[in-house]
Amino acid sequence: MKKWKKNIRSFKDSNSMVAEIIGTVLLLGIAVAIFSTLYVVVFAYPFPTSSPNVTLIGTIEGSNIIIEHHSGEALSLDTEILIGESDDAFIARDFLDDKSKSDGVWNIGERIVYPFEYNISCTQVEIMTVDIESNSVILVGTLDIHPECDIGVKYTIDEQYLSMGDNLKPFNITATNYKGDINKTGVKISITLPKDSIHRNNNTGKGNYNHNTGIWSINNLAVGESVALTINASGYIGNDMTGIAEIVSSTFPDPNLANNKAYLTSV
């Protein structure tokens, strides 16, 4: 009898252990199934590509907008750049040189050179650069536009006329737009003749000279253009070479003021 009861207890203990093992296996199976489901759901979801870590610098050089890859990751040649209005959009490969495009990416030190036309009513330009692969903006900003024109003046007289007493003498003034981004407008040049010289007549290829005020006005002076004014005056000069021609007014900054004033010299 006792042996029979002992066998029953052993059987019950065995069933309990089996039940625990089965329960544990079932729990593990459920956990694995849930994890597998989450894995499929999470990794099947198309996470967006992170924005590239890159520094771009925009500047104005002459009549070009420069966007330089300064540091960071290489960018796709399909990187989109918007200048001003949306219809001025292009991609990097359009304005990178052949050497920069040869490796298939826009990399450090490589520059986009985008030519534009100056508009005197526009002093700023908006720039936005978009990385197509991550669909993210990597550069947005405003560039100030300050067109420059280097104009200068020369004031000469032919040496042969210096010893001709009171005879008519031609004084030559030349204005030149040496270099710049845009045509120079509203140029005014103040001209003084040597003492005792009397204006008789004048001629010029452009602009108007008022001998009463001594101002030569030129409405427009294109980049690379030179124009001359000849003032014919009588009077004895001798060693008195005190004539001065000086640019006193013009639109747009002049990066070189050293050539805006000229003293009369003989040639």
pLDDT at 11 over 50: no
> What would the pLDDT profile of 101-157 be if each residue is shown by its tens digit?
999 999 999 999 998 877 666 677 888 898 888 888 888 888 887 777 889 999 999
Per DSSP, 167 falls in state S
Q: Exposure pattern of 243-255 as b/e (b: 16+ CB <10 Å)?
A: bbbebeebebebe
Q: Which residues have a Cβ under 8 Å from the Cβ of 70 and sit 6 or more positions away?
A: 55, 56, 57, 108
Q: Which residues constitute the domain of residue 103?
A: 54-144
> What would the pLDDT profile of 229-263 be if each residue is shown by its tens digit?
999 998 877 667 789 999 998 877 788 899 999 99
140 and 153, same domain (yes or no): no
173 and 227, same domain (yes or no): yes
Confirm whether 49 is domain-assigned. no
Residue 198 sits in a domain whose CATH number is: 2.60.40.1170
Coil, strand or helix at 176: strand
229 and 125, same domain (yes or no): no
How many domains, in total, are found in the chain? 3
pLDDT at 41 over 70: no
| Rg value, the chain, Cα | 41
Banded model confidence at residue 161, pLDDT cuts 50, 70, 90: confident
